[in-house]
């Protein structure tokens, strides 16, 4: 079966701009979680969506937002980009509570200049 | 807040030796503990997981042990091979949910031929 698909793979933006990242989960997976990965902080939880509802949220500012559509695809938006937002953004899908671990996508590498 | 501490941050072993990575967690409600392997430039991949009702789980050369009383769990890799070289992340579910994970900061394992 197809894995988790994230688009785009790479993105370069300037400070102050906004960006939207997309994640298509494995078919049948209703939970999508987003993580920010940086060398210094590791994998930090952003938020989780399940059946179009945000179920959990990490400690990130309100500039980071997301949504999930009825087909379980999810988007993440970052507004007013800062240099410190440069990171690898990973999404992971799971069946949510049915004993399956996350399956991660390949990530979107965001560089803010 | 909840956190997961992972040690060591780097580990170098000779091919054929064993490697052990240890993690401690703070949330007593955590009940799911996966381990992920991330090779350079690639996505994290689930290699093994354990649930709180099990003390040990093994899959070929990889084993995980869990001590719920002490709130720590460990990854054991036996007969290491150069292709085991990667960054390994432990994680723990937050609040008993399997839809949201908090990760350790990772261990960079190098296996020297």
Q: What is the pLDDT of residues B60-85, one digit of tens each?
A: 999 999 999 999 999 999 999 999 99
Q: Pick B53 or A108 by higher pLDDT.
A: A108
Let me know how many helices (H) and strands (E) chain A has, helices first. 0, 11
Evaluate if residue A96 carries a pLDDT over 70.
no
Q: Do A42 and B34 touch (CB under 8 A)?
A: no
pLDDT value for B27: 87
Q: Pick A37 or B101 by higher pLDDT.
A: A37
Smallest CA–CA distance from B88 into chain A, residue: A42
Q: Pick A100 or A82 by higher pLDDT.
A: A82
pLDDT value for A94: 87
Confidence at A97, pLDDT banded by 50, 70, 90: very low
Q: Do B43 and A105 touch (CB under 8 A)?
A: yes
Evaluate if residue A110 carries a pLDDT over 90.
yes
Share of chain A above pLDDT 70, in %: 95
State the pairing for strand pair B10-14/B107-112: parallel
Confidence at B99, pLDDT banded by 50, 70, 90: low
CA–CA min distance B47, chain A (Å): 10
CA–CA min distance A33, chain B (Å): 7
Name residues whose C-beta falls within 8 Å of residue A62's C-beta, 6 or more positions apart in sequence. Answer: none
Name residues whose C-beta falls within 8 Å of residue A39's C-beta, 6 or more positions apart in sequence. Answer: none
Let me know: does A22 contact A6? Beta carbons within 8 Å. Answer: yes
Q: Do A45 and B102 touch (CB under 8 A)?
A: yes
Q: Which residues of B touch A102 (CB under 8 A)?
A: 34, 36, 46, 101
What value does the mean pLDDT of chain A take? 92
Name residues whose C-beta falls within 8 Å of residue A81's C-beta, 6 or more positions apart in sequence. Answer: A13, A14, A15, A16, A17, A18, A19, A112
Name residues whose C-beta falls within 8 Å of residue A33's C-beta, 6 or more positions apart in sequence. Answer: A45, A46, A47, A48, A49, A56, A91, A92, A93, A94, A102, B99, B100, B101
- CA proximity to B49, closest of A101, A73, A29, A93: A101
pLDDT value for B98: 53
Please indicate if any CB of chain B lies within 8 Å of the CB of A5. no
Q: Which residues of A touch B99 (CB under 8 A)?
A: 31, 33, 48, 50, 55-56, 94, 96-97
Handedness of CA B91, B53, B97, A4 (dihedral sign): positive
Evaluate if residue A99 carries a pLDDT over 70.
no
Please tell me which of the candidates A43, A55, A106 has its beta carbon nearest to residue B103. Answer: A43
Smallest CA–CA distance from A4 into chain B, residue: B43
The CB-side HSE value for B39 (13 A sphere, CA atoms) comes to: 8
pLDDT value for A95: 82
Choose from B100, B102, B103 for mutation: most chain A CBs within 10 A: B100
């Amino acid at each position: 079966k197809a894995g988790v698909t994230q688009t785009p793979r790479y993105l370069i933006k300037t400070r102050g701009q906004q960006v939207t990242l997309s994640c298509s989960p494995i078919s049948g997976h209703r939970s999508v979680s987003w993580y920010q990965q940086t060398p210094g902080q590791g994998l930090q939880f952003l938020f989780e969506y399940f059946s179009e509802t945000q179920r959990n949220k990490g400690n990130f500012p309100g500039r980071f937002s997301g949504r999930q559509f009825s087909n379980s695809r999810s988007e993440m938006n970052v507004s007013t980009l800062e240099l410190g937002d440069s990171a690898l953004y990973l999404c992971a899908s799971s069946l949510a509570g049915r004993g399956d671990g996350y399956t991660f996508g390949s990530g979107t590498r965001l560089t803010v200049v | 807040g909840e956190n997961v501490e992972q040690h060591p941050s780097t580990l170098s072993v000779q091919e054929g030796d064993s490697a052990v990575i240890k993690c401690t967690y703070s949330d007593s409600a955590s009940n799911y503990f996966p381990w992920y392997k991330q090779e350079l430039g690639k996505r994290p991949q689930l290699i093994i997981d354990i649930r709180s009702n099990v003390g040990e789980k093994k899959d070929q050369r990889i084993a995980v042990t869990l001590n719920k009383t002490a709130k720590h769990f460990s990854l054991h890799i036996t007969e290491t091979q150069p292709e085991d070289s990667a960054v390994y992340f432990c994680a723990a579910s937050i609040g008993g949910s399997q839809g949201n994970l908090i990760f350790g900061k990772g261990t960079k394992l190098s296996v020297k031929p």
